[in-house]
Structure 1
Amino acid sequence: MKEELFRINHGTLTYHNRMLIENINLRVLKSETHGIILDSTEVKNVLIKLLCGELKLSYGKVYIMENLIKDADINKKLRNHVALIDQTRHLIPTLTIYENIYFSQFHILYLNPKHYYKCARNLFEYFNIDIPLDKPVKDLTIYEGVVIELMTAYALERKLIVLSNITNILNSIEVASIFNLIDKLKKKGLSFLVINNIEDMKLRYTDRLTIIKGGNTIGIFDSKQINKDTLYRIFYYDQENTDIQHRYKYNNNSSNEIFSVHNLTDDILKNISFQVHKGEIVRILYTDETSVNRLISVLKGEHTSFVGNILLEGHNFKPMYGYMNYKNDIGFVEEDSIERMLFKNLSAFDNLSYPLSNKVKWFWLKNRYKKSMEIQLQDILDPEKLKHTLSALSPDDQLKIVYCKWLLYNPKLLICVKPFSVADAQNQLTEKLITLLSERGIAILIITSSWPSFSSINGKILYLRNGVLENK
């Protein structure tokens, strides 16, 4: 398994009083060529500034070499690890090629120019580059300029190289040659982010592909499993986009199916059928209370007089009475969850430990479990807050505990009942927590009558009306 080089988790960024990046998740592996396609030049420019350490996230986490970077250090770390190659030449035209490559050692370069000339010559021989080292930079072709900038990034020991729109300024032979050089650099541990519009993205030269639409990451794909026709459908057709995302991301085959309902029928519900796959988010929007109350009663095991089948990982499933179905690897987040699902007089740690303590034998007697919890949640909750009583925590921290206890427990399916309200300041945080659970592979079923106007959650939407479940 490849090591992770760089990651952004749930990034948002407001630029000139506008939220251009709403929810970006990006993960680049070591020695990987990772493509990014965006639908907005403005978002692309802001993302590049972010990657190069010129802007900071308004919200979110940045990891380099799997280490969380402190907010105060992010810009410096990115400037030291990331190089940008785009249509603007970043070389000094008055210097020669080898002087540009080793310009970071400028203070000693002229004390021993022969040494650095030799270093550059050895570098060119190793990578089979046939460009005269004494050639003035101002005389380089566009292709040669890209080659020299790649060599400069390598000499500067940059780990991540961002290539923005270079394929549309080179001919096909030059593009092939550049990516042949990139393959050699990947063997040296470098990673590459290729940012392009949909028309100019060369899928065959990338390993994976992230699609960003409307400032949100809507899918991460294996480049070998997607084609331009699918990309056009994702970008230019609103219908079925999220189904495409999940079909590729989770491969939606029977081995990934976690939970399914088949032809569920009683005096209110009529032939209800749906599936939820590993890591998938499925939304059921309802219009009448009678239908949804009955469906929830069935899922909780409160109502058992029905025909049809309910399966968990392909096996017959009989819900246990009550919302704590943890013995069957199903969890619930109830409406008004902070008031109904947390114990205000207990500590944050005690709240997080339930229902995990029912799953792990001798949980309360072994201190290592507490330490493990602290490490798992350190990017979400300050470990110091775990000892505080729940009433001493902010509403946001209390909401995090609602979802983090299921993150720790890791059920196969989490059912969220009415998690949003029309005007709730916590809706954005709720979305981020639900998305985090989904990214950990937990199947999510959301049952609600309302949906935030600016939601970044993607996934299948089903509609429950008068006992009938439809996809439109």
Structure 2
Amino acid sequence: MKKELFRIFNLSIRQNQSAVLSNLYLQVFEGEHTGILFNSFYERTAFLDFIDGKISEVEGIIYFEETAVTYQDYIRSYKKETAIIYESSRLMNSLSVYENLFYEQLSFLWITAKKYKKMAENLFEFFHLSLDVNQKVKSLTNFERIAVELVKAFLQGKKLVFLSNAASLLDAGEFEQLLSILKVLEKHGITFLIGETFDIRLFRLTCTLHLIKNGQTLRILPRSQICQEEIQRSLGSYSVLRHQKSHHQDKDIKESVLAFDNVQDILPAPLSFTLKKGQILKIICSSNRETDYLLSILRRRASAGNGSILFRGQPLQSVSLNQYLKSCGIIESNPRRTVLFHNMTVLYNLCVPLDSKIHNFWTNPGNQKGVEYTLKDIIPPGYLQMNIDQVPMEIVQKVIYCRWLLYVPELLVCMNPFSIIDTSLNQITLDMLRLLSSKGIAVLIISNNWTMDTEIEGEAVFLTQE
């Protein structure tokens, strides 16, 4: 008979007086791994904080090893049975690998340190890992760091391990090594709760996959139905529900603003697409490594090792760098931190790109009046002379996109436009993307989040590692 390890029933979490998760249900049995996929970064973070005991108050019923417990009891007595492997390290960078494994037990005697080094070496040999136990943790690769954290969970006798976006950090070879470690841990009684933002490869290990959208359990997929298309359909994918083709490429690439033809390099599959004026195209990646690679190409800081890229019908590398940068705008992730001048006015922030396009922009008062008139139905003129840090966040979000509405680049690249914490601003983002598209601007969205496919219309190209 199966033994229940962990269960939550009617879990609800509220933050800032708003429901983040509502009536969530999750049941994990010993030896049966469970997947959970959130359509929102915000909801996923709230759930991780719940597992990690960081939420001040929750509603619902929690069971651990078939015993009903309060959340405070879970934090005091049962959280120690769980481990969370985050995307970012929870190890102590100033310590060595062996010290991170045993620092709770280390003494200052040299003979004790030697003993623990040998134990660490034996552990890594058991898991077929080639790691120097004296190596400082800060120098480890993503895979090595994840491996050390998993070995530590094994050493500490954890019963439940939550893997958060582990697969998306690894290449194909490292992923296979990770599977080997997980199989060893599985044989020794560890059960996994696997949460991924987009990469679905680890979900092959799970018996069920819980899909969470708008803070609620949307669907629970059995193992036989866990695949990319079924996940997309369940979440409400524009591309699947409208039968759009992935990796679509228009034959008339000379009329395109941007065209990729069989570009691969580090990508899991050859990337081909055409993007024309006024179109929105979404490239959904399975890892940050891929989004960073594409951004470096579009910034002209790297070139494709194979395939071809055309900009306005010409090879990208043959286009003058200065002319290309004048024709291409980029909105990076978390633009409120990276692109705004926080000690300047709303008007100044709106006009920064225009200043590089129009000679002596600031010396002609008529230019500023033109900006006010153009945006009067989007940003009330009363905000223009205010400091950007003193206006509502809705206005700040509009400024980020209106600056390109004024500039009118031929191509606008948006990195993870829904990666903001305040999800109430997502509708503004969506409205601005539609407005930019209606003005003839080609919009390219690059993301590693399912929300880009389910909330933003337009053709999607999926770079997944099956």
TM-score by length of 1: 0.48
Structure showing greater radius of gyration is 1
